[in-house]
Structure 1
């Protein structure tokens, strides 16, 4: 008898616990998307990510799941966590390549790279990636409004790249590594559009040729 009563008590506790957990934690997809969008509009981006992520995890087949995926990426972008934003945008593009938001998603990947560009004396990986992304956007969606904005960002990234190559060339020249300097200046002229450095590169190229000719004459 005591054992039976004990089992009944344990059963009631389990049922009560489950009921409490459900009422406290489980929300509908509609509730989660509403909360997420409300937090996002109030710039509570981390809170919005939490709601959107729950929606994705609990209701992966909901009609709101795609919107949640997109807004997670946008929220990471707003809080300047660009690597996470890029990952989320790339995931969205991979899962929904024909979605109407895909051109915007590619554009945002490029903007994330632009935001991560280093000064001209540092590594230019982000600038190179930005150019690749924006050129891909132009190829895949040439008529999209976002593609028409791409050129200004390609130019901005290219300027960074060319300036970086130029200062490396100058460094080699000043260090009397004329052959290495010449290759950098040639690369600027051959590989990049003129963004204000071609004439400077040509001038240094002539100087390098002259220095190398003198060195050769001494041998």
Structure 2
């Protein structure tokens, strides 16, 4: 009997310790910010953002958005979180957050900024270190982000022409239009060099028709002229030359070629 009791004691002790460990695992300490007021959450998030801790700031704004749900502060938190996601490199999630904001709060006082930020994120899409090292011009990139950016800026300018962000949006819209035209010329140039003269003429003609005020129009007309000449379409070649001489008197192909990218494009500064 004594031996049985002795054997049971370690077993009971082990069982008690296991129960204590399980109880400890089930009661994790609460995060300190769970006790903070909305005002403190906002202040702390701003402080983290100012120090470059974008991920931490974004999480605090997300918590604030839930805490202050239904208020103007919650809307501000959502916008600020989108900006933190953008600064932290998560552009897809930033755009998703802004899209949700614009859909849920179309009458918000911050809607113009939301549209501007949406345009800005797409405008700067893929303009990172790799693009800088490769010295690749915006006109040589995939243009979908540029088109999306243009639409956001255009909506801002059309709906809120007096917005603080309207003037900058107009400048960026103009640049995007020129880059879209330059992109078409970039493709036309590619076709011309490879002897695909019909494709080259068609892409160049698209620039002349859709982007008449673009600086790329001159090269587009030149590509049309060269392509038609190679195809033996002398009448179309002469027409292209006539239009080029009328709009660009004394036009000639520069030694470095058309469309040479600037050494320091202004958009790389943003």
Normalised-by-shorter TM-score class: 0.7 to 0.9
What SS does the aligned partner of 1:179 have? helix
Residue aligning to 2:145: 126
Residue aligning to 1:142: 161
The reply to whether residue 54 of structure 1 matches residue 73 of structure 2 is no
Shift of 1:84: 2.1
Q: 1:22 to 1:103 in 2, by over 3 A?
A: closer
Aligned length: 204
C-alpha separation in 1, matches of 2:153 and 2:168: 9
Residue aligning to 2:210: 191
The reply to whether residue 105 of structure 1 matches residue 105 of structure 2 is no
Shift of 1:117: 5.2
Shift of 1:155: 2.0
Q: Structure 1-normalised TM-score?
A: 0.80
C-alpha separation in 2, matches of 1:24 and 1:107: 31
Moved more, 60-69 or 44-53: 60-69
How do 1:35-54 and structure 2 match up within 5 A?
Answer: 35-54=44-63
C-alpha separation in 2, matches of 1:36 and 1:99: 22
Moved more, 183-192 or 45-54: 45-54
What SS does the aligned partner of 1:142 have? coil
C-alpha separation in 2, matches of 1:135 and 1:129: 10
What does the per-residue CA deviation read over 1:58-88, in whole Å, with 9 as the maximum and x for residues that have no partner?
A: 4424553122111101212222332222222
Q: 1:23 to 1:123 in 2, by over 3 A?
A: closer
C-alpha separation in 1, matches of 2:170 and 2:212: 12
The reply to whether residue 69 of structure 1 matches residue 78 of structure 2 is yes
Q: Which structure's CA Rg is the greater one?
A: 2
C-alpha separation in 2, matches of 1:88 and 1:33: 18
The reply to whether residue 84 of structure 1 matches residue 93 of structure 2 is yes
Q: Structure 2-normalised TM-score?
A: 0.66
**Contact 1:49–1:75 (Cα < 8 Å) also in 2:** yes
What SS does the aligned partner of 1:145 have? coil
What does the per-residue CA deviation read over 1:160-197, in whole Å, with 9 as the maximum and x for residues that have no partner?
A: 22222112111211222211111101001111143321
Shift of 1:101: 1.0
Which ranges in structure 2 are unaligned for 5 or more consecutive residues? 1-19, 128-136, 235-270
Q: CA RMSD in A?
A: 2.9
**Contact 2:66–2:74 (Cα < 8 Å) also in 1:** no
Shift of 1:25: 4.0
